[in-house]
Amino acid sequence: MISAATFHAVMGEIVVGTMVLATLCAVGCTVASLFPGMTGRLSSESMMSTMDKAALAGASLGLAFMPIAMLSGSFAADNAVTNALLYNKFVYSGLALGFWAAYVVGRVRFGSGVWQVRPLSALQGLTAVMAFLMTTMASSIGGKLVRDESLFDILPIWLPSDSATVLNPIISAALLLIGIVALVVVFRLGPKAERISPD
Amino acid sequence: MMRSRAAVLAVIALLLATSAGVANPGGESDAGRDYTCGGSCHGDPALSSPSDGTVTISVDSMAFTGTAIAIHVTASGMSLSGNRLLGVFLLGSANGNDDRPEDHGWHILQDPNGGLHNYVLVVVPPSGSITLTWVMLAPEHAGMQNLFASIHHGVNPNPNNWAYSALTMGYSVDVQPVPENLPGFSFDWTPEMRVTGDDSPTVIRTKNATSVSVQWMLDGEWVPHDAEAQMVEDDVWAVMLPATIGDTRMQYQVTTSNGEFSIVQPWLTVGTKPPPFDGGIWDARLQSLAFAFLVLAFLVALQTRLSPWEGRPELDPTEEVEAAQAEEVPPPPPGLEPEPADDYWSRLVSSEEAPGWLWDPVEEEWVADPENPPGGDD
């Protein structure tokens, strides 16, 4: 048997590793589609196809492992939140989950032709970057908690994490309900989005 | 080729950079620990080296059973890492197991950081010397006791990633039976940690005491102030100490008396802790899930809005075509061009040199005469 903390570290490394691959490839696709004349071989059909598939595979794998990482992290913390850092780790993990899910949903709904529609391409790239930022923030808080240091210490960015905004559970439940209803509305009542066939 | 080499070099550089992150440069937090953390990495001779610092213990050579005693540990002259962190152990032995003073009958009333641990992590001031004080109750059984102090730290630079450690010799304390009716702290009492800003009474439990007096002073003060102490019940006292805010440190000293003896106890520190966090695990899980769904719903809606879905106004060209038609007048078909106005024809001048042609002095061009077209005679 291994401890929950060790298992959480392994899951976290898988998530971050796959997400790095997904982010790099997604940003590559976005840049190549928005600036086809400036990216040379990056915007070639084969390169675009490779990056698109790698991004989708990385994001899907990371998305599959993220709930496991979150659960094991919760067990590693003895299912208790004792400080703002730990609370924010949960919040950033949720945000990362939402961003990555949106990336995968967008890619699956519209197919590989998503990169040919410039606004959608930009949105996918931005989603991947935000998702990666949230993922690294969540994992860096883990480093702060265990080792009292993180890679963000030497970077000029550090998102708010020393104090937490704890929402009333009723408000959280209401927000959750709003999110679910909004999803149902978009999928059921909204216009039917069709797969974009690549040229 | 150059790009591939650059990429390989970058990866190698990143891999090599990880060697700077071994051990625990952020330090181990305050805890109950055996000598060298029970023989873990810092005890491995291949990963450690003797410190260049000096560690000494200052403690009375005699104590009475169950009475408070202050142990001062001074560390100086160490080469330190960039963050100047120093780990200090107070030990009852140096075997690697069962080394904590509690294992030898001592009872820690307060560690230098206001807690109850035999290992504390501190930041050494620029002077390079630091003195830390533990207040402990002597064991309840008489006899000779040994106390040790140990330190470990890093250095800067530290190419071998070694931990540097030092251990004092054993300092002997002769614990003698306590005189009958000697007033002191209760053996099961430990000072309470207070939340920043809390000025509620501090509870002190004693034994054999009929009165107590308390003095307090802030860090840097030389003249102590008297604090009000009220008896709550036998050997339980409520002391009014001012609240501490932020990094302010306050010390207080209790004198226990019973008419026969009057014992001045060691100085204690008011330990302050941050207010308890008011978020729970289910709050965090629910909020996390809510944010996940909100973000997902917002982005999926945005994707739909930006996608070329059927019936999207931007892709229906009807309006654009109609607008364009309204703005532009299409050219008339050949042969149906509107005739120029009369003043146009009146300004044209005929010329005998160019029969069938009229000269337009405004546009400076020849125009075919409609009444006598060029070559009409042919």
- Asked if A173 has any chain B CB less than 8 Å from its own CB, the reply is yes
- A152: chain B residues, CB-CB within 8 Å: none
Q: List for chain B the helix, strand, coil content (%; round to 5).
A: 20, 35, 45
With vertex at residue A163, the alpha carbon angle to CA A160 and CA A164, rounded to the nearest 5 degrees, is 95
* Cβ–Cβ below 8 Å for A94 and B304: no
Domain ranges of chain A: 4-189
Q: How many CA atoms lie within 13 A of B126 on its CB side?
A: 0
A173-180: Cβ within 8 A, 24+ apart? A173/B286, A173/B290, A175/B287, A175/B290, A175/B291, A175/B293, A175/B294, A176/B286, A176/B289, A176/B290, A176/B293, A178/B294, A178/B297, A179/B290, A179/B292, A179/B293, A179/B294, A179/B296, A179/B297, A180/B293, A180/B297
**Cβ neighbours of residue B342 closer than 8 Å, sequence gap 6 or more:** none
**A105 and A154 in contact (C-beta within 8 Å)?**
no
- For residue B58, the tally of other CB atoms under 10 A from its CB is 12
- Closest CA in chain B for residue A119: B306
Tokens 């990336």 label which residue?
Answer: A103
Mutation target to probe the B interface, by most B beta carbons within 10 A, among A90, A144, A151 is A90
How far is B54 from B168, CA to CA, in rounded Å? 9
Who among A86, A98, A149 is closest to B295 (CB)?
A98
- For residue A172, the tally of other CB atoms under 10 A from its CB is 21
DSSP code for B92: S
- Direct distance between the N- and C-terminal alpha carbons of chain A, in angstroms, rounded to an integer: 52
- Closest CA in chain A for residue B282: A169
How far is A46 from A52, CA to CA, in rounded Å? 10
For residue A120, which of A100, A105, A99, A106 has the smallest C-alpha distance? A106
- For residue A188, the tally of other CB atoms under 10 A from its CB is 7
Tokens 């196809």 label which residue?
Answer: A49
How far is A94 from A100, CA to CA, in rounded Å? 10
For residue B209, which of B225, B224, B231 has the smallest C-alpha distance? B231
**Cβ neighbours of residue A177 closer than 8 Å, sequence gap 6 or more:** none
- Asked if A75 has any chain B CB less than 8 Å from its own CB, the reply is no
Domain ranges of chain B: 25-176, 184-273, 342-378
- Asked if A169 has any chain B CB less than 8 Å from its own CB, the reply is yes
Sign of CA dihedral A41, B9, B157, B169: positive
How far is B141 from B64, CA to CA, in rounded Å? 9
Which pLDDT score is estimated for B146? 93
Which pLDDT score is estimated for B41? 60
**ipTM score assigned to the predicted complex:** 0.93
* Cβ–Cβ below 8 Å for B300 and A183: yes
Among the CATH numbers 3.40.640.10, 3.90.1150.10, 2.30.40.10, 2.60.40.10, which is that of B184-273? Answer: 2.60.40.10
- Closest CA in chain B for residue A181: B297
User: Is CATH 2.60.40.10 what the domain over B25-176 is classified as, yes or no?
Assistant: yes
**Cβ neighbours of residue B77 closer than 8 Å, sequence gap 6 or more:** B52, B53, B54, B128, B129
- A81: chain B residues, CB-CB within 8 Å: 277, 279-281, 283-284
How far is B237 from B232, CA to CA, in rounded Å? 5
Q: Which H or E run contains B23?
A: none
Provide the H-helix boundaries in B97-188.
none
The CA radius of gyration of chain B, in Å to the nearest whole number, is: 45
Q: How many CA atoms lie within 13 A of A78 on its CB side?
A: 2
Strand B48-50 relative to strand B85-91: parallel, antiparallel, unpaired?
unpaired
Which pLDDT score is estimated for A92? 93
How far is B259 from B249, CA to CA, in rounded Å? 32
The tokens describing B28, both together, are 């181990």
How far is A82 from A79, CA to CA, in rounded Å? 10
pLDDT (tens, 9 = 90+) of chain B, 378 residues, equals: 677 788 788 877 766 655 444 455 556 778 888 887 756 666 666 777 888 999 999 999 999 999 999 999 999 999 988 888 899 999 999 888 889 999 999 999 999 988 889 999 999 999 999 999 999 999 989 999 999 999 988 888 887 778 888 899 999 999 999 888 899 999 889 888 888 888 889 999 999 999 999 999 987 888 999 999 999 999 999 999 998 877 778 889 999 999 889 999 999 988 777 778 888 889 999 999 999 999 999 999 999 888 886 666 655 566 666 776 676 666 667 766 666 667 788 888 887 778 888 888 888 888 888 877 776 554
Q: At what angle do helices A4-34 and A118-147 cross, to 10 degrees?
A: 150
Which pLDDT score is estimated for A37? 78
Q: List for chain A the helix, strand, coil content (%; round to 5).
A: 80, 0, 20
Sign of CA dihedral A108, A110, A112, A118: negative
Global pTM reads 0.60
* Cβ–Cβ below 8 Å for B299 and A127: yes
- Closest CA in chain A for residue B25: A147
* Cβ–Cβ below 8 Å for A149 and B26: yes
Mutation target to probe the A interface, by most A beta carbons within 10 A, among B293, B302, B305 is B293
* Cβ–Cβ below 8 Å for A97 and B277: no
- Asked if A151 has any chain B CB less than 8 Å from its own CB, the reply is no
Who among B24, B283, B296 is closest to A98 (CB)?
B296
Give the distance, in angstroms, between the CA of residue B331 and the centroid of all CA atoms in the same chain: 74
- Asked if A34 has any chain B CB less than 8 Å from its own CB, the reply is no
- The DSSP-derived string for A145-171 is HHHS--GGGGSS---S-SS-----HHH
Sign of CA dihedral B156, B160, B163, B167: negative
DSSP code for B46: G
How far is B253 from B256, CA to CA, in rounded Å? 10
- Closest CA in chain B for residue A71: B285
pLDDT (tens, 9 = 90+) of chain A, 199 residues, equals: 778 888 898 998 999 999 999 999 999 999 999 988 777 777 788 899 999 999 999 999 999 999 999 999 888 888 888 888 899 999 999 999 999 999 999 999 999 889 988 999 999 999 999 999 999 999 888 888 887 778 777 777 777 777 888 899 999 999 999 999 999 999 888 777 777 776 6
* Cβ–Cβ below 8 Å for B26 and A148: yes
